Amino acid sequence: MQSVDVTTLTAICHDLQTHWIPAKVEQVYQRDRYTIFIALRTLKKRSWLTISWHPQAARLGIGDPPPKTPDTFTFSDQLRHQLNGFALIDLKMISPWERVVDLQFAKRPGDEPVWHLFVEIMGKYSNVILTDNKQQIVTVAHQVNANQSTVRTVQTGQNYEFPPALTGTFPKLEEDQQRWQERVSLIPGSLKKQLLNSYRGLSPVVVSSMIKEVGLQPQDSTENLTENNWNELYKLWQFWLKSLETKNFNPGYTEEGYTVLGWGIISEAINIQTLINDYYHNKINQEKFKQLRHQLQQKLKSSLKKLYSKADNFKQKMQQSSEADEYRQKGDLLMAHSHLWEPGMDSITLNDFETQKPIKITLNPEKNAIQNAQLCYKKHQKLKRAKSAVEPLLNKVQEEINYLEQVEDSLQQVDNYYSLEDLQTLEEIKEELIQQNYLPSPSQPTQKSFDESQPYQHKTPSGFEVWIGRNNRQNDRLTFRTAGDYDLWFHTQESAGSHVLLRLEPGAVPSEGDLDCAADWAAYYSKARQSEQVPVVYTEPKYVYKPKGAKPGMVIYQRERVRWGKPHKIQSYLKNQD
């Protein structure tokens, strides 16, 4: 994840200074342990200033409104108490090469500042600190005591001290090319390393993009650069410093991340605030997606492993129970041929009543034929009772396995993060597993921070829409709320998979190609997607039912017909789309 460097921070602060000073503070909200939102209103507009001290995504800028979830954080409560109703009158970096921004608040524009909110954007050491006009710390996002840092403590009640100043040579616009080139090439080495070692306040992102812009590689040695290479590099060096001085920036997205200098742009951004908000919002969602998907995968894997073991145990007991009739048969034979028994016998071989095949019966030598027959009858009754007791337990476990395999299949379909829909889909799966008691409930109740995710939508050859559920919540919604009287419902036969709707208008008649297409999508979004052909049932939605007490996504159906879905056709189609 690209970090906010001095160049980007300068661009952000200049834009905020131009468009959002002065502004009234109307609200303060904390989303999580790393992010606060401050509602700002100017004479012309209102929006939210996002301030984050996240270790990998520390930043500030105008962004999206916060989610509608309860704010239970002490830090935001203290900020609300001090800043609500005040005006943001100024905003500036404490030094041209330091990533610390001083936000100043007064009762009204033109007054002396009463509060200072220092935003320190320094990677894992990032922090947000509120001080009074004498720079005494009132509250802090992250307290730093002497045990955590021997260089600088940050605690409520003490005087605020700026982070230790950077030492070394800083880039200067006045430095001529000869002196600059001598400094960078003094010690032979890779170009990127030498630039970073020669100057302070210079970020790896700026250096890499500068080197790439002139057609060089970061690892190229300074000894191998031509005079033309040095000339082109120095021009970009001057361009960068002039951009910082004149505050002339060109924000946009690059292959690796983003830039505010216009180098390597593959798509332009509306403005710097939109660029920063979208980039970090997307990156943080990607991280959440990876973590949540891993958490759900591990939980499902663990739960299914236990259920598979339990099912195997029940199946073994059922197998033993199937021997019950054999013991009854042996008892009958002993009763019918008791006269053949002799004292001390430990086994006897008798012919079956029907097949006349010999059957060897193990005996207790201390008991006579009648008593051994009674032992066989008792064993028969015991195994028969076990079967009647184990069978419903096995059915219940199998239902639970079917359900979790359905959830697991939904999770497998969402294998990468492409949009917010993907994260929403996982959040809904997590919420479902909490409701079904597979995951613990959160310690504090939360409100939904997102809209309902939407199903996949595709077209058949005739232009009919095919809607595909992304998880069990969507499956139930599609089948029992969305489906119309003229639609057709598809699902893989005896295999976990998505509910699929072929949407039809009144009087519309789907072709064989349309039905095959819907069956192909159902096969692709199922556990059997690696098969060459998959049996897919389809019927009218009115013949699909949810049994009483059934888990989400689990249904039964009637009057079904079968088509063979070919998932490889969808794989080829999606590959061509990419």
- The DSSP 8-state label assigned to residue 201 in this structure reads S
Task: Kindly provide the b/e burial profile for residues 139-164, where b requires at least 16 CB atoms within 10 angstroms of the residue's own CB.
Answer: bbbbebeeeeeeeeebeeeeebeebe
**Residue 514 contacts by C-beta under 8 Å, 6 or more apart in sequence?**
460, 461, 462, 464, 502
The listed range with the strongest mean pLDDT (141-145, 378-382, 535-539) is 535-539
> What tokens does 292 get?
């949540």
In order of 59, 200, 447, the CA distances from 152 in angstroms are: 21, 21, 39
3-state helix/strand/coil string of 213-266: HCCCCCCCEHHHCCHHHHHHHHHHHHHHHHHHHHCCCECEECCCCEECECCCCC
135/155 Cα distance (integer angstroms)? 12
**Residue 147 contacts by C-beta under 8 Å, 6 or more apart in sequence?**
none
**Residue 293 contacts by C-beta under 8 Å, 6 or more apart in sequence?**
411, 414, 426
Of the chain, the percentage scoring pLDDT greater than 90 comes to 79
Mean pLDDT of 143-172: 88
**Residue 233 contacts by C-beta under 8 Å, 6 or more apart in sequence?**
210, 211, 214, 216, 225
Find where tokens 């940050």 sit.
154
The pTM for the full model equals 0.79
Predicted pLDDT at 160: 93
Tell me the β-bridge partners of 52. 35, 59
In order of 40, 246, 473, 505, 517, the CA distances from 14 in angstroms are: 17, 10, 46, 55, 54
- pLDDT of 337 higher than 70: yes
> What tokens does 369 get?
């034929």
7/260 Cα distance (integer angstroms)? 8
Flag the least confident range among 78-82, 387-391, 474-478. Answer: 387-391
Peptide bond into 22 cis (omega under 30): yes
Q: Hey, what amino acid is at 381?
A: Q
For 175, other C-beta atoms within 10 Å of its C-beta total 17
- Average pLDDT along the chain: 92
Mean pLDDT of 538-549: 94
294/23 Cα distance (integer angstroms)? 43
Q: 552 φ, ψ to 5°?
A: -55, 140
- pLDDT of 448 higher than 80: no
Looking at the chain, the domain(s) classified CATH 1.10.8 span 177-269
> What tokens does 43 get?
């004479």
Band of pLDDT at residue 451, cut at 50, 70 and 90:
low
6/97 Cα distance (integer angstroms)? 6
> What tokens does 51 get?
């301030």
In order of 44, 270, 455, 463, 573, the CA distances from 578 in angstroms are: 43, 26, 20, 20, 9
Q: 154 φ, ψ to 5°?
A: -135, 105
End-to-end Cα distance, the chain: 25
Return the closest-CA partner of residue 1 out of 49, 59, 48.
Answer: 59
- pLDDT of 445 higher than 70: no
- pLDDT of 449 higher than 60: no
Contact 26, 84 (CB under 8 A): yes
**Residue 15 contacts by C-beta under 8 Å, 6 or more apart in sequence?**
271, 272, 273
- pLDDT of 157 higher than 70: yes
- pLDDT of 359 higher than 80: yes
Query: CA 228 from chain center: how many Å?
Result: 47
Band of pLDDT at residue 371, cut at 50, 70 and 90:
very high
- pLDDT of 446 higher than 80: no
Band of pLDDT at residue 450, cut at 50, 70 and 90:
low
In terms of phi and psi (left: phi > 0; alpha: psi -120 to 50; beta: otherwise), the region of 553 is left
Burial of residue 28 (CB within 10 Å: 0-12, 13-18, 19+) is buried
For 242, other C-beta atoms within 10 Å of its C-beta total 11
Contact 478, 502 (CB under 8 A): no
pLDDT in tens, 102-117: 999 999 999 999 999 9
Predicted pLDDT at 195: 94
Mean pLDDT of 62-75: 90
Q: Hey, what amino acid is at 62?
A: I
Predicted pLDDT at 166: 81
Looking at the chain, the domain(s) classified CATH 2.30.310.10 span 6-140
**Residue 365 contacts by C-beta under 8 Å, 6 or more apart in sequence?**
344, 345, 346
Predicted pLDDT at 444: 58
Contact 134, 114 (CB under 8 A): no
- pLDDT of 149 higher than 70: yes
505/420 Cα distance (integer angstroms)? 30
pLDDT in tens, 28-61: 999 889 999 999 999 999 999 999 999 999 999 9
99/120 Cα distance (integer angstroms)? 6
Predicted pLDDT at 84: 93
- pLDDT of 25 higher than 90: yes
Identify the architecture of domain 6-140 in CATH: Roll (2.30)
Band of pLDDT at residue 297, cut at 50, 70 and 90:
very high
405/208 Cα distance (integer angstroms)? 47
**Residue 45 contacts by C-beta under 8 Å, 6 or more apart in sequence?**
none
Predicted pLDDT at 477: 94
> What tokens does 108 get?
């009204």
Predicted pLDDT at 67: 84
Domain 177-269 indexed as CATH 1.10.8: yes
For 467, other C-beta atoms within 10 Å of its C-beta total 22
Contact 236, 211 (CB under 8 A): no
pLDDT in tens, 551-578: 999 999 999 999 999 999 998 888 776 6
Q: Hey, what amino acid is at 434?
A: I
- 391 versus 258: the higher-pLDDT residue is 258
- pLDDT of 65 higher than 70: yes
> What tokens does 545 get?
């039912």
Return the closest-CA partner of residue 117 out of 132, 98, 107.
Answer: 132
Predicted pLDDT at 226: 92
Tell me the β-bridge partners of 545. 556
Tell me the β-bridge partners of 116. 104, 131
Mean pLDDT of 183-193: 92
Predicted pLDDT at 443: 67
The SS3 assignment for 289 reads: helix
